Chains A and B, each alone.
Chain A
Amino acid sequence: MSSDRAMIEVRNLTVDYIGENSVARAVNGIDFDIREGEAFGLAGESGCGKSTVAFALARLTRLPGLVSGGQVRLNGEDVLNFDKARLKAYRWNEVSFVFQSAMNALNPVIPVSEQIMDVIQTHKPELGQQGARERAVELFELVGIPPRRLDDFPHQFSGGMRQRICIAIALALNPKLIIMDEPTTALDVVVQRDIIEQIVELKSRLGFSVLFITHDLGLMIEFCDRIGVMYSGELVEVAPAESILTNPQHPYTRALGNSFPPLTGPRVRLEGIAGTPPDLRALPQGCRFAPRCPHAMDQCRVQPPELRYYPQHRSEAACHLLN
């Protein structure tokens, strides 16, 4: 399904939030690739920078956020330096977005047909009104909503249906990458299951890549091919999904895995992670996880570790313990 060729390459990406008289580095020089047809997950606690990365990738970062360094390449092209025309084509043709709350992701006062058709007409004016409408009907059928409901307003749909509509909008132009920022968090588990199955099915049929963001590690492991674990604006581990729980390299990944209850097997006491993530304006000198890490050594407190590839585990991790 997924090839080894990197479609999106993120190199040393750095995003700051500019305050009145302070700068918070929300994303601190991270590197990762998303391959063709791959589902890549970003996991981590709230505020670790997952969504900030997603926004930077889609070129949606707005003040007070500022992409202050690094590169994002799409098949070799430098995304962060796109001019206006190229950016317009990049948006939605190549990268589209599905947001967490489907209620808020749709404009409440205009019919959903218009919200699907406007993106088609903006990018493919040659299709005309009629062609855009036909495509919208097609998309509704694709996500399993009767096309006669095309002209309804968002409030007339259930939460699950709204999220399907958002997926239909995301698919409108056959993008190469769909960024899904907590796409099922606001839904109940049954609907969540349906939606995920549908995304999996569509993905295998249409072959797009997914950048999947959620704090539900179980769901992520099931859906994604590879997972990047973020802590305090840095990637601490990038590994195949199956080894995140079974063979975690970084103590934070292990701790994160231990904070989820297993669905089968004996009942275990959940450990959680003691302490809180550091304030981005007053970071520890060495490894950012060191103050909460049960295995921290002297070196950890002075020298930040670098993300390195460990072939024997097929994973990348940033931890002094591994050397």
Chain B
Amino acid sequence: MVFLLRRLAFYVAALFVAITLNFFIPRLMPGDPSARIIASFQGRLNEAQVEAIRKSYGLTGSLWEQYVTYLGSVARLDFGISTVQFPEPTASLLFYGATWTLVLVGIAIFFAFIIGSMMGIHAAWNRGRFFDSVFTPINVMLNAFTPAVVALLLFYAFSLQLKWFPLGRAHDPSLMPGFDLQFIGSVLYHATLPVLSIFLVSFGGWHLGMRNVMINLLNEDFVILARAKGLSDRRVRYRYVARNAILPQITSLALSVGFLLGGALVTEQVFNYPGLGKFTFTAIQSRDFSFIQGQLLLLTMSVLVANLLSDIANVILDPRLRKG
């Protein structure tokens, strides 16, 4: 418990630093975000109108006043107004995109982690034999592919040529979003290829990670003892070896969340999927600062949350962390 509270304090501090940096970075850059909007009116705005726009971006008053206002709006999850989809609030765009990205990345991580780890367990157990010598090199190779290549290949083959899968969107636009079978089916159908492309480039990492930790553990005394006890292979493999090998995997899982969310950008772009990455891509092109800021904050938060979850999981799975 003390361990978790200490970690929690650390994450709160980290989040605060991230929020603060997020405030200062755009203000240190030349030209403030409102300049683009104001410029687009080509001088047809009067003083009061310019002031109003600047105000809507929280750019009036002293730096301290701006900071306090900013903290208040972050607390209300108000990230300002999008410049691209003006006057849409950034927050609603962020959450819309984040939901779809979560669908993609969530399903992909889930399957990549489970299937990759299972393959790693199997490969380590049968080290040097058929399964290991075939799948380990293949998975290493797949892991070395960039998401862009895999996404483009899948898109070309299955969407453009074979037309088995749609060319874009997260679901059939004629369906009303809701928790019915038809809608969920459509979401899964649209998510198949993007999920597959994230899955293909990431499960090899879990395979390798699990295999390496397992192989190191196989020489531990407690594993040799478990075998000497005449326990079933299954029990030794899962309860003694994999049970220990999963701990570092969970930590890497948390670390990979930020990387995967960032990496989804390319996949979403290729499959024209309305996720956070796709919006971010557009936002970067059109300098939509409020969106980029919000997205950065959201990424930071999700990485922190993922780490907190992995800490909790570790405390549950590793009795050595429970005390002190």
Contact = CB atoms under 8 A, between A and B. Distances in A.
B261 to A, nearest CB: 30
A169 B244 CA distance: 20
Given A110-B243, A155-B320, A105 B230 contact: no
B230 A122 contact: yes
Interface stretch (B76-84, B197-205, B216-224, B294-302): B216-224
Nearest to B225: A105
Contacts of B239: 107, 110, 118
Contacts of B227: 60
**Chain B interface residue number, banded:** 20 to 34
Interface string A100-114: 110011111111000
Interface string A137-179: 0000000000000000101100000000010010000000000
B229 to A, nearest CB: 4
A92 to B, nearest CB: 5
With most chain A CB atoms within 10 A of its CB, the pick from B222, B226, B320 is B222
A230 B318 CA distance: 42
B95 to A, nearest CB: 38
Given A99-B221, A99-B225, A118-B235, A153 B320 contact: yes
Contacts of A104: 220-222
**Chain A interface residue number, banded:** 20 to 34
B229 A107 contact: no
- Tell me whether chain A's interface is mostly helix, strand or loop, or mixed: helix
Contact of B228 (A58, A107, A153): A58
A110 B229 CA distance: 16
A17 interface: no
A91 interface: yes
Contacts of B224: 60, 99
B240 interface: yes
A193 interface: no
B160 interface: no
Contacts of A313: none
Contacts of B319: 108-109, 111, 153, 155
B174 interface: no
A235 B190 CA distance: 71
A118 B231 contact: yes
Contacts of A110: 239, 243
With most chain B CB atoms within 10 A of its CB, the pick from A107, A108, A156, A169 is A107
Given A107-B222, A109-B244, A119 B317 contact: no
Interface string B53-94: 000000000000000000000000000000000000000000
A97 interface: yes
Nearest to B246: A109
B228 A109 contact: no
Contacts of A87: 230
25 contacts: A58-B228, A60-B227, A60-B228, A91-B230, A92-B228, A92-B229, A97-B225, A97-B228, A101-B221, A104-B221, A105-B225, A107-B240, A108-B319, A108-B320, A109-B243, A110-B243, A118-B229, A118-B235, A119-B229, A122-B232, A153-B320, A155-B319, A155-B320, A156-B323, A166-B225
Interface of B: 220-222, 224-232, 235, 239-240, 243-244, 247, 317-320, 323
Counting from the closest, the 9 A-B pairs by CB-CB distance are: A91-B230, A104-B221, A153-B319, A119-B229, A105-B221, A97-B228, A99-B221, A107-B222, A88-B230
